[in-house]
A and B are shown apart, each in its own frame.
Chain A
């Protein structure tokens, strides 16, 4: 008896589900033709998980504030830290018939075919925050941070410290991301060319503070000699510092270990101001207004001067940072 009732309910829900699908599909068709004739520009935004880091939270907030109905956009968002899930989301947006696809790719590889599909469907692709390894005819513009330059700025700053010997614990982000490649590349190059630069350990903590703490803890337990922590974001630098504090290894301006982070979270810049850390490289998350400008131009049929727009970025030194810098650049 129970089973029969259950079966009946299931059958009913399926029928209604199908009916709902049908009506939904019809109404959304009508909706899209409406918005096509209206002024709203339909954008599909694929981003990394906003909880990944303070940087991403600020970036997502910025995008959400810009792409609103009031500003003339009909925006849908998809989030994932995984490339394949992002590609699936992109395919969905292509099917939905968006006008613009805004993409911050989790991984640099694997985007060619889906972007070609977008091109065939007449969808214009704009990359933000991260570049990809694909032919540049596949996208209209890319608004990015120059991660290589971020890395170089940081490494040049470190070289200016004039230590006799650099023994570096290098904590990497998620392998394969543009941020990791740029920030790792500059350090690897310097370590190869200079004899007194040694990377004593190079491990990925996947932007994860806990993992960074374990990695540094392991090096301390091992008795490794090091005088620089080069962490590819603030969270991982924080994890590393937690391990240093536990083992009473002094860090900061004029201390035993130089601590370097990236992204310029407010709390990290405060650590700089308190001289507990030495350096923080900026990674500018506020790309939305630039993207908005580009879309406006494309809609007006104008040509873009540059395909690649590079965000302006700084590096902060603990000895020169001020409270104003924190208020202005902290995220």
Chain B
């Protein structure tokens, strides 16, 4: 009896330690990047108010760029965190399904005419259709993973390979181009508001997921399934459904990003749109200190992680690093993270005194 009590306190101590560490990683990374930029060139933090060529007021500067592009990643990080926590794997088809969602939006707006003068329906309708379609594709991944118990990375490899061709097929290989300037609002600026719209969209998504996590059991159930599927089933949770649900939610996030992406340029390029964005999204989850093998998660840390990654990308662009070398720098970050999150290193970090006993528990 005494023995179990000791184990319990040790367990909770370990977890609270973990949570403390979790916010610590993205915050530390952010501080390091910020300090580095402050020393190298303080003008990095300069924000200026200007006017776009259509006369609308816009803020510009590196920080705004980070908010702008980081928001796409933050939205994806929300879904990816849930998928990671529930299934213990990652969805690598995100970029391809963004292409599908974008293609659907353009298809609904343009019909078969790739150069429409006016939009056929409102953007909202197109967006809702895209939500439905990408939730269906999310459900497809979800069924493979939850029901057929295929490794998430292998299951999503199917859409990773086929997704962009599907996206091209949706629009008959045409590259629709929308000339209506109001379509550009979602990836650019709303008239009269100087902050990029993607930030507001991301903020809305964050608020929604925060409310969902606070008022439903989604977070608890997801973690329970991720930590131990069998025992969660014994406790009346349906692990298949929870995993499935996480992929459907990711599908919804993908549709939102698809809208932002096609709105940025009012057109689409199937083979390069949102290319490699899944890697950044997974990196955001990892940078948030979440275990990539599932279980406990911290949504706020993931979202912060997404902005930190964009901070890194923007910093690298600022220093004229060759853009095809960017993945190499991100790889360094991944290596650091993996090493830091390795149990051996964590145990060492947990303190030399506890080291021996922690090993025993594990």
Contacts and interface: CB of A to CB of B under 8 A. Distances in A.
A25 to B, nearest CB: 25
B269 A53 contact: yes
Interface residues of B, number: 40
Contacts of A207: 272
Nearest to B63: A221
Contacts of A285: none
B307 interface: no
Given A220-B60, A248-B50, A206 B324 contact: yes
B58 A246 contact: yes
A221 B177 contact: no
A129 to B, nearest CB: 16
Interface in B49-68: 50-54, 58, 60-62, 65
Interface in B251-272: 261, 264-265, 267, 269-272
Interface string B172-200: 01010100000000001100000000000
Contacts of B177: 267
A289 interface: no
Contacts of B189: 246
B265 A221 contact: no
A201 B321 CA distance: 10
A214 B272 contact: no
Interface string A31-53: 00000000000000000011111
Nearest to A171: B323
Interface string A207-229: 11111011101101111000000
Nearest to A61: B173
A10 to B, nearest CB: 13
Interface in A222-263: 222-223, 235, 238-239, 242, 244-250
Given A207-B272, A245-B52, A250-B53, A238 B265 contact: yes
B61 to A, nearest CB: 6
Contact of A81 (B271, B273, B324): B271
B320 interface: yes
A237 to B, nearest CB: 11
8 contacts: A51-B168, A52-B272, A204-B323, A210-B265, A213-B264, A239-B265, A245-B53, A246-B58
Interface of B: 43, 50-54, 58, 60-62, 65, 69, 115, 164-165, 168, 173, 175, 177, 188-189, 261, 264-265, 267, 269-275, 313-314, 317-318, 320, 322-324
Give the 10 A-B CB pairs with smallest separation, nearest first: A51-B270, A218-B317, A51-B271, A208-B272, A245-B53, A51-B168, A221-B62, A248-B53, A49-B271, A203-B323
Given A210-B274, A213-B264, A218-B314, 5 more contacts: A207-B272, A238-B267, A245-B54, A246-B58, A267-B115
